[in-house]
Amino acid sequence: MTKPALLITVRLPEPVKARAAQAFEARFATTDTPRTGPAIADLAHGVDAILTSTIERLDAATIGALPDSVRAIGTFSAGYDHIDIAAARARGIAVCNTPDVLSVATAEIGMLLILGAARRVGEGERLLRAGAWKGWSPDLMIGMQLSGKRLGILGMGSIGRNLARMARGFGMEIHYRNRTRLPPEQELGAIHHTSDDSFLVACDVLSINAPGGAATRHWLNAARIARLPRGAVVVNTARGSLVDDAALIAALKSGHVGYAGLDVFEGEPNFNPGYLDLPNALLLPHMGSSTREAREAMGMYALDGIAAVLAGRTPPNLVK
């Protein structure tokens, strides 16, 4: 029996790569350099499915240029705003993502950023490396203690709920803003807000965990930042597009936002250089799902979805 042909444009963990080679006629890309739409379409000739990632944009033009043989696209990510879902649907191409399996790993990075930003870890580490530490003093690196503080979570999906679980262990009070209110067994005492106004004023720490896309682009803008308590901590592990960088940089400079912890950036790997000179910005290179366990689970889940579509089944990770 002939195996379905799968174009893989992302570097996979070895166990996932081995499974792909066993289950598919796998065509592995030779580099991780993001390809243009025409290059993807050219490589896709004769394949049944494509496995890609967030570094490549499959817009309407790229989807329209794909050969008729392509029936499924899998993305090695929970987010899918880099794929034009409507264009894919119009062509009868199913899109699968990798939700949930990276939630704990990403929530851990969120908690790390909250702790690191609130306790000025980046500044302290740089002080030591520069050989500038003169010893302990009562006013050295005074930060924010998290116990008793209010954590506001924008987007209470799987990542947000895992972050809330971790933050409760630090004695934080949980507030959240979501499209719908969670059932009590998921809410676990968290306080739901139906407006940005009531939510933002309750955020000693704001964690952004909402999906990307046009509807949320620059959600954290100057007007919303102004509603945060002075000295608040802002953390983003979702998508860089949710933050107006110029507004956040201005707020960090003025001290209205005390600290920020950012794992994602608009236009990454390029990002606003204004962050580089800010001692109160803790910056990471999109490490949210960077654990062996999460990355292998993501790859396997993406392959599960592609295999199901090609077999005529509806996978649980189908983007609708």
Domains of the chain as residue ranges with CATH: 5-101+292-310 (3.40.50.720), 103-283 (3.40.50.720)
Residue type, 250: A
pLDDT score recorded for residue 29: 82
pLDDT for res 67: 97
Q: Give the model's pLDDT for residue 153.
A: 98
* Catalytic residue check, 187: no
* pLDDT value of position 227: 98
Tell me the DSSP string of 92-143. Answer: T-EEE---STTHHHHHHHHHHHHHHHHTTHHHHHHHHHTT------TTTT--
Mean pLDDT by 10 residues, the chain (320 residues): 93 96 93 87 96 95 97 96 96 97 98 98 97 96 97 98 98 97 97 98 98 95 98 98 98 98 96 98 97 98 98 97
Query: Is 286 designated active site?
Result: yes
Tokens of 259: 């600290």
161, 175, 177, 239: the active-site residue: 239
Residue 309's Cβ-count burial label (10 Å; 0-12, 13-18, 19+) is buried
DSSP assignment letter at 318: B
Residue of 25, 123, 187, 268 marked active site: 268
Task: Say which residues have a Cβ less than 8 Å from residue 59's Cβ, sequence separation at least 6.
Answer: 37, 84, 87
Which of 11, 181, 218, 286 is the catalytic position? 286
Whether the model clears a pTM of 0.85, i.e. scores above it, the answer is yes
- CB within 8 Å of 78: residues ≥ 6 apart: 97, 98, 99, 100, 102, 103, 159, 289
Question: What pLDDT was estimated at residue 33?
Answer: 82
Whose tokens are 């993807």? That residue is 40
Q: Which helix (H) or strand (E) holds 163?
A: helix 158-168
Element (H, E) at 158: helix 158-168
- Residue 8 β-bridge partners: 28, 51
Q: Are 243 and 220 in contact (CB under 8 A)?
A: yes
At 192, phi and psi to the nearest 5? Answer: -85, 140
First to last CA, the chain: 31
168 has catalytic annotation: no
Q: What is the pLDDT of residue 167?
A: 98
What is the H or E stretch that residue 251 is in?
Answer: helix 245-254
Q: What is the pLDDT of residue 189?
A: 97
